[in-house]
A and B are shown apart, each in its own frame.
Chain A
């Protein structure tokens, strides 16, 4: 790992100005991506993951706007503010212009793989034509050369008969095949960083596995860095090197993958891990997170997770913890968490009385458990069969808890 990160995000804030108020979708997140690594951005729906990733390309749609922070890519400023002579914040001079973003960054340097392979391809153009257009645009190749490159790339991502399929339209491709096309688009532009925004969410589990394997292989071959946006910790465990856990627009825990799983520091991450269906545990043992994530329009005071946190104490309602290094002993890489129960925060957590459980909106527990039944993969996990009574204690060691 080189000392200078490929991408550095500092205190990034993106807000949406709606009629009902300001939605702080991304509220001061900081992270780095180094060359050749896969960084996870994990959280529930609405945590701000997608907005954060679109902010990196400066493609936040109205009424959203990046309002603060700094994004640096290879030493160039994608976004940065400074205080002007009048005291107002203004865009820095060294910030890349819209044209530079379009011509030099988007596609050539940072490419995206979107969530929905069904909607992301244009229905009235051939798959090959769309791929060729992006290659032509981002690599300055001639039409013929770009076409060859497109066919090669389709072959590379495992599409059979690429020559023929080049001429076909998106509706003639299955979901998995379209996602391969989107991956081909990203790789074919030879970017240094690919933002994968929940690329496997719309696919079924077997296809998801294939796509993840494919990305893993290609990442090794091309050495491209990835930001992998997902809500699925199972996927994160399989491919990520480091993980950022997001909750309500903030990063609450940041750690190398193994540390995150084996030495979890934030109660939210704990809760996420407990809510993953695993073959070695029955549905009854699943421990979904209580309640639903509040709206980013009026986040809770203090720690934003405190209304749902099993470890919450009185102090959590008052003190808003920043993401702070809580453990440096394990490795050279810092393990950060935004939770005051750690000694790094000296705000009197230990003396603080536990919070009375406030009545709150809970999502329907039935729906959660049902999702759990259908969730586990094809593993031989006992107790997940449908129809048979899932007796407690019937669960054996199901190996690793991957999906």
Chain B
């Protein structure tokens, strides 16, 4: 099977998964105790007639399955519905909020990969030496500490105590420097980085720690491989062995973990955005849940689920690309 057919096949497979997720989310959101109309009318004197009128306006008086089918019919046409509270279309809301979240998650991943792989390799190379012990302790702390706590500590140290970095908000690099009163693109870029640094580390630490542990184990195993012995016996320099012969084999599990951990990263983004007061998808999601804003909950869940599914498909394709033993779904 060729790459194109495989990709098409995998995307087709993803459709039932997404339908399943939509049903589950729709039912769960609607079963959550509380009444969105009453929440909407908080502080307003409203009689039964008015409530019924609003329910009818949003279609909340109709049976659940009808509302679901209606929603799905809209979704396939690109209509993600309307927010009760914000009086805007869900797609518009998501479009305005997805940028900061993607920036945060992608930079956290970039940070995690850029640190974990070299550190894991060095730890494997210096197995049972002080560097290895220290890095293992750091990794253990990293995987067992919640990201919001790390975020709060980072704010306390670097923003409050030392005053080096800002504690809240992001600078969006896709907005023009003038919006922020920045003097040219250099300052704009520097400010973007300064704002991004703490939330990126807060969200990326867990990924970094997880990936570093896997990288270390994989490299240790790979370095003990017969093919490494063979390369040594043929006079291949040690750094080539580390960079090429042992490295490439060891990266296969890393790819899988990056794909699967996308879910924890997106989940962690919700809390990180909250701690750092970033107006991203996570904040919107939180508000929507509190307000029982059904359409927004649905919309964000579907977007996140789609991103996750795409992430997994991309990792599968990358895996098959890097490991010649994995074919695109066809026995030889």
Contact = CB atoms under 8 A, between A and B. Distances in A.
A169 B324 CA distance: 7
A396 to B, nearest CB: 43
Given A119-B225, A122-B245, A124-B324, A107 B230 contact: no
B226 A111 contact: no
Contacts of A172: 332
B218 to A, nearest CB: 13
Contacts of B322: 124
Interface residues of B, number: 20
Given A116-B226, A169-B324, A171-B324, A122 B233 contact: no
Chain A at the B interface: mostly helix, strand, loop or mixed?
A: mixed
A229 B324 CA distance: 33
A250 to B, nearest CB: 25
A92 interface: no
A172 B323 CA distance: 13
Contacts of A125: 248
Contacts of B227: 119-123
Contacts of A57: 233
Contact of B226 (A105, A114, A126, A189): A114
A185 interface: yes
Contacts of B237: 102
B88 interface: no
Contacts of A108: 235
Contacts of A105: 235
Contacts of A126: 324
B27 interface: no
Given A119-B227, A120-B227, A59 B233 contact: yes
B86 interface: no
Contact of A106 (B225, B233, B248): B233
A133 B245 CA distance: 11
A16 to B, nearest CB: 16
A274 interface: no
Contacts of B235: 101-103, 105-108, 137-138
B229 interface: yes
Interface residues of A, number: 31
A189 B323 contact: no
A40 B323 CA distance: 39
A47 interface: no
Contacts of A119: 225-227
B23 interface: no
B234 A124 contact: no
B116 to A, nearest CB: 20
B236 interface: yes
B38 interface: no
Contacts of A134: 234, 236
A366 B60 CA distance: 80
A215 to B, nearest CB: 18
17 contacts: A57-B233, A107-B233, A107-B234, A112-B230, A112-B233, A116-B226, A120-B230, A122-B225, A123-B324, A124-B248, A125-B248, A126-B324, A134-B236, A137-B234, A137-B235, A169-B324, A185-B230
Given A106-B234, A108-B235, A171-B325, 9 more contacts: A105-B235, A106-B233, A114-B229, A114-B230, A114-B233, A119-B225, A134-B234, A169-B324, A171-B324
Interface of B: 225-227, 229-237, 245, 248-249, 322-325, 332
Closest 6 CB pairs of A and B: A106-B235, A107-B234, A119-B226, A122-B227, A169-B324, A107-B235
